[in-house]
Amino acid sequence: GIKITTIGGGSSYTPELVEGFIKHYDELPVRELWLVDIEAGKEKLEIVGNLAKRMIEKAGLPIEVHLTLDRRAALENADFVTTQFRVGLLEARAKDERIPMKYGVLGQETNGPGGLFKGLRTIPVILDICKDMEELCPNAWLINFTNPAGMVTEAVLRYSNIKKVVGLCNVPIGMEMGIAKLLDVDHSRIKIDFAGLNHMVYGLDVYVDGESVKDKVIELLTDPNNTSFVKNVKGLGWEPSFIRSLNLLTCPYHNYYYKTKDMIEKDIKKAKEEGTRAEVVLKLEKELFELYKDPNLAIKPPQLEERGGAYYSEAAVRLITSIYTDKGDIQPVNTQNNGAIASIPNDSAVEVSCVITKEGPKPIVIGDLPIAVRGLVQQIKSFERIAAEAAVTGDYDTAVLALTINPLTPSDTIAREIVDEMLEAHKEHLPQF
Ligand code: NAD
Ligand code: G6P
Ligand code: MN
């Protein structure tokens, strides 16, 4: 039977994952699911773990659920390791959001300074997990969901010996589902050719039953109600002349790059009125865990769909299933470029449509990205690489360099000031500095 190990098992998303394993049991017979957390997440792990057990019992499936704080025991002989942890918990995320806002800069968990600092906290932990995997489950696949997923995948490829790594995000699947809804067709009939980076991914074309509907979808993207696709980023709608001439499908995070001023103003206003996203999520999470505690609950509650990562299990379980069954279907994931995108180094991580087999994802060759977006994608890749280097070396100047070259940073001095304040605020979780 298959052994799955989930690091950050106390996450409120775990019931999604369990729902996915239940749905796909015929194709993917999971025998053991090990949910791992740390001391600080012990209570969450208990609550969510017990819900997982009730869900599996209700489904009548022979999947054993193990709850543990012993990561090494959980990793031993695992077939797939999924990671969904948050170093420093939501308190750290709130700082990632609040501090940049003081400087008039984007405060967001995966882009700009927040993305840099989440990466600096996360990368040493994932590299430590990779070392354990080398020893305890060298043949396992690492399916990383932990943000910033692109930078984390880049760091694993560059600084660990684990080659069987795939980074995963729910944005591409969210775009397919959202567009299916806008076009009022079943999601299975929609296909998008994706290329770019995590949270910087473009749809090069979009099809219904194999026929391009790109022109129609481009028009839809001018409506502010049609550009969100995830609960945590509310898009503002594109200028028709911009999106028509760009002639690509944008992801929600592009709002931060092409509507920078408006989005920052909106987020700062929102932070004053209702709190930053981390502060909103803290409340949402409390409500969710109250529901999870109910001994009569044995399904994933629909309230989980208020979280930005909704439907990620769909993406995770279909990826694991396709690797396990050597399916050869096409899925968008973060993997080593290997020549798929000409304007990105071969050894870097990209987010791109891939054929998924037992050897893992094989990226579909795109060639060069359109000239209008090529530079921005390369710039973000440079940011991710230098940020990963700073995370590994703990070098202060490298961290300042990473933030200064980020297109969301207005100046080298502001970059240095933000780095100083954030290094101090997060020092407990940044032992390398
Ligand atoms: P969360 O705050 O609930 O954290 C999940 C669990 O991780 C917690 O129970 C916590 O105790 C645990 N944890 C913290 N440090 C740990 C460590 N060193 N080892 C093991 N466990 C540890 O977070 P969440 O909202 O469930 O999100 C989890 C992660 O997934 C975050 O990194 C988030 O950014 C990411 N995420 C990614 C996507 C995507 O599209 N890739 C979508 C949503 C969330
Ligand atoms: C998004 C993304 C994630 C992001 C998350 C936030 O859609 O794909 O990478 O970090 O959802 O969701 P939250 O509910 O925690 O704000
Ligand atoms: Mn994501």
Model confidence over 73-121: pLDDT tens digits? 999 999 999 999 999 999 999 999 999 999 999 999 999 999 999 999 9
Q: Is 147 near ligand 1, meaning CB less than 6 Å away?
A: yes
pLDDT in tens, 119-133: 999 999 999 999 999
Lowest-pLDDT range of 5-9, 135-139, 303-307: 303-307
Q: Minimum-distance ligand to the CA of 35?
A: 1
CA 58 to ligand 1 centroid distance, Å: 26
Average pLDDT over residues 384-388: 98
Query: 211: Cβ–Cβ under 8 A, 6 or more apart, which residues?
Result: none
Determine if the pTM surpasses 0.90: yes
Strand partners, 249: 203
Q: Minimum-distance ligand to the CA of 13?
A: 1
**What is the residue with the minimal CA distance to atom 5 of ligand 2?**
308
**What is the residue with the minimal CA distance to atom 13 of ligand 2?**
308
SS3 195: strand
ipTM: 0.98
pLDDT in tens, 140-181: 999 999 999 999 999 999 999 999 999 999 999 999 999 999
Average pLDDT over residues 64-75: 98
pLDDT in tens, 287-340: 999 999 999 999 888 888 888 887 788 899 999 999 999 999 999 999 999 999
| Residue in 317, 333, 335 with CA at minimum distance from that of residue 325 | 317
User: With pLDDT > 90 as the criterion, what percentage of the chain qualifies?
Assistant: 92
Q: What is the pLDDT of residue 70?
A: 98
- Give the binding-site residues of ligand 2, using a 6 Å CB cut-off: 109-110, 147, 169-171, 230-232, 277, 281, 307-309
CA 291 to chain centre: 25
Q: Minimum-distance ligand to the CA of 6?
A: 1
pLDDT of 411 > 80? The answer is: yes
For helices 149-159 and 112-136, the axis angle rounded to 10 degrees is: 40
Ligand 2: which atom is nearest the Cα of residue 93? 15
Ligand 2: which atom is nearest the Cα of residue 170? 8
CA 309 to ligand 1 centroid distance, Å: 11
Average pLDDT over residues 277-285: 95
pLDDT of 253 > 90? The answer is: yes
DSSP symbol at 359: T
Q: Is 143 near ligand 1, meaning CB less than 6 Å away?
A: no
Which of 152, 230, 305 most suits a substitution to test ligand 2, by most atoms within 8 Å of the C-beta? 230
Could you give the residue numbers annotated as active site? 253
